[in-house]
Amino acid sequence: MTQISSINPYTGEILKKFTSPTEREIETALASGEAAFDDWKKTSFEFRSGLMKKAAQRLRDKKENYARLISLEMGKVIKESRSEIEKCAWVCDYYADQAESFLADLKIDLPDGAKAKVKHQPLGIIMAVMPWNFPFWQVFRFAAPTLMAGNVGVLKHASNVPQCALAIEEVFTAAGFPKGVFQSLLIDSKTTTQLISDSRIKAVTLTGSEKAGASVASEAGKNIKKSLLELGGSDPFIVLNDADVNLAAATAVKSRMINFGQSCIAAKRFIIESGVYNQFLESFTEELAKLKKGDPMDEEADFACMARGDLAMELYEQVKKSVDQGAKLLLGGKKPMKDSPFFEPTILTEIPKNAPAYSEELFGPVALIFKVENEQEAVLLANDSEFGLGGSLWTTNLEKGEKLAEQIETGAVFINSMTASNPHLPFGGVKKSGYGRELSRNGILEFVNSKTVYLG
């Protein structure tokens, strides 16, 4: 058995300790999930919807409690934690309302006069391996469509947010979901690998690092199981000469600093056309300086700390190596104290291709600012990345913006807006940002069997 500690990164205080489940307890959980699926898959959409609506209400009723857990375990400022809980309630309501229509039989009339239907049937136990950066949202955007489709879920959450993991299970239990329909297991990576190979687990979804995604996908592939991966990103934020530069700069700061930069879809590479480069840089720096550092529980704080000390040091090493390779340090970049999660907002410019900041994901409050001479150079630089999650493009010419957006190799492009996830829109990436889609109708179809029934 493994000891798991819940630690407040801002203070270093150990909040609680947990013991990982025994083999027998894991076996009981899987058996419970399998038994629950046999009944849950037969329930009506109306029944599931009622429970999912109750889960949404539970989130709203206990918003302060759940938001506090997020801030305590991973350092997110409390106002962002509240927004995260509200968004979870939104996605629960969305799928409660839309699942039945999304999964309705598709009727097909064939040229020879025969008819067919495509039915969407649940698969069974779906395993989710989830990260710490949005500890409630990442889980609910998986769980809401998965459970509404008639599947059941097993969660392996990040080891530094165990209280969040157990609280999420409590949301579904309190809402009246039957025993075994959603379970959180505080297990390690080795046990996770073993579970993926268990025949009762029918598919797996992971949000996390490229390394973790490769490991999970490999294990799923070896066992001929579907996997969905939402991995890292180095999202471009392109500002053209005809953009509203001050609005773009203000939005850029928000997009880079949300969750203190610890977001896969945070804007990371700011690609600015030369005619507005100086104006953007000045405005961006001014807006960044307005942000207030403070305790995660401080209502006025805009940022606090990173989720762990090792993450802050890893980020520093990427910045240092980039500067050593020729990047210019415009702001911040100081080495954090040993084991400290505190890292100051940083700006790098004139980044050469051989620098880590050019090609790697910097998961924290570091802005990478590039100057380009024209629109096509901006697109080429945006696409010169192994990642392809999201992107933002700023121009007052929407027709031009849409044409350029088609050339950008990402799962989404937001014109004159920061990249964001929304229940109504498909979410996911290309290249090393992963595969598959969450949210919208696409998300609920990921873990169903689309079965053809031919009516001759």
Catalytic residues: 230, 264
DSSP string, 2-53: -EEEEE-TTT--EEEEEEPPPHHHHHHHHHHHHHHHHHHTTS-HHHHHHHHH
DSSP-derived letter for residue 438 is B
Q: Helical H runs in 297-407?
A: 309-324, 356-359, 375-383, 398-407
Distance in angstroms (rounded) separating the CA atoms of residues 318 and 310: 13
Report CA torsion sign: 122, 189, 182, 148.
negative
Distance in angstroms (rounded) separating the CA atoms of residues 355 and 320: 10
Name which of 444, 376, 436 is nearest 141 in CA terms.
444
Q: Specify which residues 116 forms β-bridges with.
A: 108, 454
Q: CA triplet 210, 131, 58: central angle to 5 degrees?
A: 150
Q: Please provide the size of the chain in residues.
A: 456
Q: How many helices (H) and strands (E) in the chain?
A: 15, 20
Q: Decide: helix, strand or coil at residue 203.
A: strand
Q: Taking every pair of C-alpha atoms in the chain, what is the biggest distance, in angstroms?
A: 74
Question: Strands across the sheet with 201-207, in order?
Answer: 182-184, 152-156, 125-129, 201-207, 226-230, 434-435
Q: Decide: helix, strand or coil at residue 372.
A: strand
